[in-house]
Every structure is written in C-alpha cells, then in structure tokens.
Amino acid sequence: MNPAPTPPSRLDLPESSRGVLRRLATHGPATRPQLARVLGLSRPTMSAVMPELMNLELVSSGGSSRGATGRSAVLYSLAAGAGHVLGVEVGATRARVVAHSLDGEQIAAREERISARRRTITDAAVSTTMELCEKVLAEVGDGHGPLRDVVIAAPTKPSTKPTSVSTSGLQPDGVEQLAAAFPVPDDVPVIVENNVNCAAIAEHRLGAAQNQDTFVYLQVGVKIGLGIVVDGKLMHGAHGASGEVAMMPFPWSPGEEPTRAGLEEYLGSEALMARCAEVWTSGNGPVPKDAEALFQAAARGQSTARRLVDQHATDIGRLAVGVMSVLDPGLVVLGGGVGQNQLLLPGVRRATTALAWDTEITVGALGEHATVLGAVHIAITRALDRLT
C-alpha cells in the first residue's frame, strides 16, 4: 500500500488552494459555488483546487446543500488528515490538555486537579501535565492527521519563539523548561503563552467579545491579570509583559509607599478571604472557607458577605478605570475564579461610571475553560498560518 501523501507546506500550495483550505477551517463546510463566490475563484480554478486538496487528504466531501434553485451541491469540509493541535493549561492547582482538529472540533480532552500548598507551578504540576498530554495523544491516535502545533497556557510571560522539543529532563524552574521537554515529535512547534492572554483570545473567538476588535479581558482570582486585544490581535509589548496589571503601583498616596505586586496582594482572592475573616462575627455562622462560599453567602443576602463583595466590586471597578484610561477599550470582559461572578457586575459598573466614561462591561461566557480554549485557537491560527 502506498503511503498517504504528505500535506504540503505553504510553498507547495497555490494561493487558491490555500484560500480554500483556510476558509473551510475557519468557516466550516461549504459547496464549490459558495467557496468560489466568497474567494473570487473561477469554476475552472475550483475544478482544479478541490481534487488537489482531496488527493492530499486535506479536504473531504460529504453531504449536500440545496440552493435557492432547488439544486443540490456537494459540501466540502476539512479532512481529518489536515491534522490537529494541542491546547495545554498548566497552573498551580489544575492541568488540562485538549486536542482539536484545525476546524476547531474537539477530539480528546483530559484534566486533573493538583494538590498544591503554594500558588505556584510545581514539578508535580508539570509532570501531571506531561502525563495528560501522553494520554490525549494516545486517544487521538493515527486517525486525525499530524500534530501541527502545541500552545501551553501558563501564568508567565509568553515565549518569544517556538521551542525545539528535546528529551532532556526538566530543570527546577519548571514551566520555563516545559516546552522544551514536552512529549511530542521533534518537528512540532511548542510555545508558552500567558494564560490570561489565552483566555482573552477564547472570549474573542468564541465568547463575550466576538464582535469586538478592541477589548480587554480582566482576570481576577488568586492573581490578577489583563489580556489586551487590539485590532483583533493580542498585544504582547516590548518585554512580553503587556497586561501585567499586578505591577501597577499600589498603594499610591501621601505617606504610603507602593510595594512590588502590591495591587495583586490586595485584590487577590486570598486577601479578600483574609478581610472576610477579620470582619466575620460568630453571629454570621461559620466563616466562608473560600471565595466561592463567600459569594454564595452574598447571593443568599447575608449582609456581611454582601458588603465584602460590594467593596471588592468597587476595587475591581477602580482597576478597570485605570485600564480604561490608558487603552480606552470598547469592552471590558471580567473573568477568573472571582471576576466571572455576576454579583460583581453592578458594583464594577458603578465604579467605572463614577470615575470615567461609559464602557460596556460584562462577564466572560466561557468560565473556567476559557484559558485552554484560547490556547487551542492560538495553536490553530499558528498551524493554519504555516500551512496556508
């Protein structure tokens, strides 16, 4: 049996074929007439392009679509042989690995919680992530084409270029070396992207910011961070540190000296729960064990919990005003373990309206899966850019 043809690089595919491939990947199945109309291709060109892409196992046919004249036309879609990507999320308490085809369909997914006393990525977290990757790749098997790209989402600065995979062991600094030791073939590009940036991309492609070219994703949880999308693209900055709002000077007033990452220490969920423990009285019942329990008490109308949540919303709103004053985004999307709670929205909106101008503020639509979904879609974009 002859081996399947190797999917070509950009140089091997004519422009018309690249356009058809990208259109099917980003917009789903279509007929030849639909593709020709959108891409401005002639009938003879389409008659040459489709057999070529099908022969290379990049495109497949199946099903039909009935047009206005009543005639049926064959639907074409991305074939399994076009390949797949991995999106990876590694954090202090959870690891996720998902495989998607280049048209965004999920093929396999694994996740596991990690017991961690410290809010940092440990060797155990890295090891768990690599094991999940091996399981996902085994589940994907050989029926979904080559692995084209891997994006690892982590609470760190993004890597500036793809890392060549090696078999060397991990170094003590953990996530910085994770990409270099990831268990994938040597020719598969692997990069690390900031986790908040990934969540911002997910909300842009799939969630609350689909119709916004310029917006920010403000994550508030154990840590705080900002993903900035301008003209549909992530802003990374000169040092890859755009959106590191934890570094904004805080406190900043007469008689007070700012401390490094002092804003994150004040706005993070651990500090919120410390303030909760200070003001909670025995008449309120047991002290909430975490932020989720605090918000549940506030939703039930517990007065102390409600005051704490309202003040936290005001503080988040003030941070949002600082972001708005520099970037003037069309939309602010709140996310993270705390930020995605709907109870915060009224207070955040009041604070921004009082201190700045009207800007739409909403809660992310993808919840805790935003980060890994963003990693997947960044990987798909990178893979399609190389292929097309």
β-pair partners for 361: 332
pLDDT at 157 over 90: no
Q: What is the dihedral of CA 162, 168, 170, 171, to 10 degrees?
A: -90
Strands 106-113 and 147-154: unpaired
Q: Say if residue 190 is exposed, middle or buried (CB neighbours under 10 Å; 0-12, 13-18, 19+).
A: buried
Q: What are the start-end ranges of the E strands in 102-187?
A: 106-113, 147-154
Three-state DSSP state, 115? coil
pLDDT at 128 over 70: yes
- Phi then psi for 145, rounded to 5 degrees? 70, -175
C-alpha span between 341 and 72 (Å, rounded): 47
Q: What is the pLDDT of residue 367?
A: 92
Q: What is the pLDDT of residue 352?
A: 97
Tell me the average pLDDT of the chain.
Answer: 88
Residue 320, amino acid: A
Place of tokens 């036309």: 73
Strands 72-78 and 224-230: unpaired
Query: Which segment of 63-67, 122-126, 246-250, 374-378 scores lowest on mean pLDDT?
Result: 63-67
pLDDT at 3 over 90: no
Express each pLDDT in 160-170 by its tens digit. 555 544 333 33
